[in-house]
A and B are shown apart, each in its own frame.
Chain A
Amino acid sequence: MASLITCPHCGTRPKEEFSIRGAAAPKRPSPTAKDEVWHAYVYVRDNPKGRYQEYWHHIAGCRRFLVVERDNLTHEVFGVTDASEFKWAGAAE
C-alpha cells in the first residue's frame, strides 16, 4: 500500500493518518432511482487491479475527504486532490 500521501492541505503524511473510504469512481444514483440501481451502487463493486481512484479521509489531519489516484499494484501515487475540487473524467455537470 502507498505509505506516504501528500495531502493538499497538510503536506506529506503517513497512511496511518487516513481512513480509506472506498472507490471514488462509482457515481451516486439519484434518490429516486430504482432499487436495482441502488443495489448495484452500494453492493456490486469492481475490484480493479492497477490505476484506481479512491476516497481517503484525512481523519488525523485536516479531516477533509481527498481523492487519491494510485496504482494498487505498484503502490505509486499519481495525485491527491481535495474531493470538493476533484474534476471527474467525463463529468458533464
Chain B
Amino acid sequence: MSINLLHRHVLEDHISGFETDPNPNHLSIIRRAVIFTVLAHAGQEAAVAEALWNAPDVAPRFCSPSEWLAVSRTVGAETVAGMLSEIAGASVVDQSDGRVLMEISGPSVRKILAKCVAIDLHPEVFEEGHSAAILCCHAEVNVARTGADTFEIIVPRSLAGSVFEELMEMGREHALTRGFVD
C-alpha cells in the first residue's frame, strides 16, 4: 500500500493507531498460556530437574537451583497439573493467571532486548532452550530463547503492563508490532 505523504497528517498514527499488521519484528501476547511453578524439596533438586526436562508438552524454565517454571502452549492446565504432580519430591503451583507470557521475534530482536536485559544473548552463549531469571525493564522476569530469533518472556501479572509498554518503546525504532495470539 502506497501512502501519499503529502496528505498524511503528522498525527495520523496517533489518532488511528499505529500499524496493526505484524511486522518482521513482532511481540505476541499469548492469551491462554499454562504456566506452573515447580519447587524441588530439599535434596531432590537434581531428580526433579531431570524429570521436568523429560516431561512431554512442557518447556522448563530455570528460576533458581530449586525452582523452575513449566510452560505449555499446547495442553491444558489439568493435563499439565496431572503430569507434574507425578514428579516425586516436587511441589507444583498453577501460576497461569499470575504470569503473562510474551513472545518477541524478528531479525532485530537481540537489539531490542539488549536495551533492557543485562545478559549476553549471542546464540553461542545463550543457546536455544536456555532461560534466565533476570531483571528486564525494572521487573523480575524469565527470558528464554525458543528459536534463533525468538524469545519468550514471562512477566508477573501486575508488572506486565509496564514491561509491555517499555518493550514497545524499545522496539519502536525497529517498527515492533504487537498482537494477541490464542
Contacts and interface: CB of A to CB of B under 8 A. Distances in A.
B119 A63 contact: no
Given A13-B118, A13-B119, A60 B134 contact: yes
Q: Is the interface of A mostly helix, strand, loop or mixed?
A: loop
Contacts, number: 41
Nearest 9 pairs of A and B residues by beta carbon? A62-B64, A60-B135, A60-B140, A14-B118, A17-B135, A61-B133, A9-B65, A63-B64, A64-B64
B63 A62 contact: yes
Nearest to B118: A14
Contact of B132 (A10, A14, A64): A10
A36 to B, nearest CB: 36
Interface of B: 63-65, 67, 118-119, 132-135, 140
A11 interface: yes
A42 interface: no
B139 to A, nearest CB: 8
Nearest to B126: A11
B65 A61 contact: no
